[in-house]
Amino acid sequence: MSLAAESPSPSPSSSSGSDDFAALLDAELDLASAVDSASAGDPSTSPTSSDDKEDDDEDAVADVETVEQSSAKRRKVKVQYQDRETAIRPDEDSIGSSEDAQIKICPPHPGYFGGLCFRCGKRQDEEDVPGVAFGYVHKGLRLGTSEIDRLRGSDLKNLLRERKLILILDLDHTLINSTKLHDISAAENNLGIQTAASKDDPNGSLFTLEGMQMLTKLRPFVRKFLKEASNMFEMYIYTMGDKAYAIEIAKLLDPRNVYFNSKVISNSDCTQRHQKGLDMVLGAESVAVILDDTEYVWQKHKENLILMERYHYFASSCRQFGFSVKSLSELMQDERGSDGALATILDVLKRC
């Protein structure tokens, strides 16, 4: 969906037109000057006969007509040139009129990019704040309600044409489980879990996020789930985690950027504190399906939600939710892939 407004083609340079007009004007002035000299009479020349005088009178009349024609032509050319210059470089009155015309088109402003309306170019004022910031689409992008509705309508037509719906995917405890390195239990340390995660295995499921001092475990079956779900859905990631974290996890789940295409929404994008909302999704609510392990963050969209069984792999995750049991990592076990939570949900989605 392209949001950029089409810009008019730049006006051609007027330098050649200016040269042509100057040359024409010089020629006209030379002609007028010559005729003026002739009509006034040359001091070095005196009439010799009455016939010559009559001829001179006729020539003078012709010269006057020529001067008048030349003056008229000059005025016509000058007016045409001035009109052309006005079209190329409008004067202040023209600019004011143009701005008035643009203001009549906006408001309402469809949206802003970098603080400027992408239709009329007006700078965003405090009274223009209403709208939603779509920073995950592009930094500095804010869309108004009418533009959001238009884009959602366009997206819905495309989805119906492709026979797809929209799938909103949570990350933590839904597709993955993560832990801070300092939260790794003694048992996990003794089993060498951090060493195992350090191995460079693109087909593995346990990864170290060095810059964030974290370990992340992909839920079994997640790769096949995403591949098959992408045939039925346009997919978004929507997490309450930080932006940098969300982007790093998206790279693990979608290294070629074919599933999400940068549609990664994080806590900094939310319009309401501690709540997720479909207002951040450029797709129709009526065709959106949400997979999340937490219900209360979707207060306004519970009818769209499929509640997921939580994935607890690390010991810290079990402790966080009050489970006084050994974690899957400590038991050196994992959730079954072929008939686990994601495989089961995929079957449900296929039947929808």
What pLDDT is stored for residue 58 in this prediction?
Answer: 54
Residue 132, helix vs strand vs coil = strand
Tens digit of each residue's pLDDT (9 = 90 or more) over 36-52: 444 444 444 444 444 55
What pLDDT is stored for residue 57 in this prediction?
Answer: 53
**Strand 165-169 to 288-292 pairing:** parallel
pLDDT (average), residues 289-303: 97
**Residue 35 near residue 68, CB atoms below 8 Å:** no
What pLDDT is stored for residue 129 in this prediction?
Answer: 57
Nearest alpha carbon to residue 155 among 169, 165, 145, 146: 165
What pLDDT is stored for residue 205 in this prediction?
Answer: 95
pLDDT (average), residues 298-312: 96
Sorting pLDDT into bands at 50, 70 and 90, what band is 121?
A: confident
Tens digit of each residue's pLDDT (9 = 90 or more) over 251-287: 999 999 999 998 999 999 999 999 999 999 999 999 9
Tens digit of each residue's pLDDT (9 = 90 or more) over 149-197: 999 999 999 999 999 999 999 999 999 999 999 999 999 999 999 998 8
On the question of pLDDT at 136 being above 60, the answer is yes
Tens digit of each residue's pLDDT (9 = 90 or more) over 336-346: 998 999 999 99
Q: At what angle do helices 243-253 and 222-229 cross, to 10 degrees?
A: 90
Q: Which two tokens stand for residue 63?
A: 């010269």
Please give the sequence-ordered ranges of beta strands (E in DSSP) within 25-171, or none if there are none.
Answer: 111-113, 116-117, 132-133, 141-143, 165-169
- Torsion of Cα atoms, 218 then 221 then 223 then 228, to 10°: -150
On the question of pLDDT at 308 being above 50, the answer is yes
Q: 102 or 229: whose pLDDT is higher? A: 229
What pLDDT is stored for residue 127 in this prediction?
Answer: 58
pLDDT (average), residues 106-133: 80
Average model confidence (pLDDT) across the chain = 79
Return the amino acid letter for 57.
D
Read off the pTM.
Answer: 0.69
* Pick from 42-46, 130-134, 232-236: least confident: 42-46
What pLDDT is stored for residue 65 in this prediction?
Answer: 54
* Rounded (to 5) percent helix, strand, coil in the chain: 50, 15, 35
Domains and CATH numbers, the chain: 111-153 (no CATH), 163-350 (3.40.50.1000)
On the question of pLDDT at 92 being above 70, the answer is no
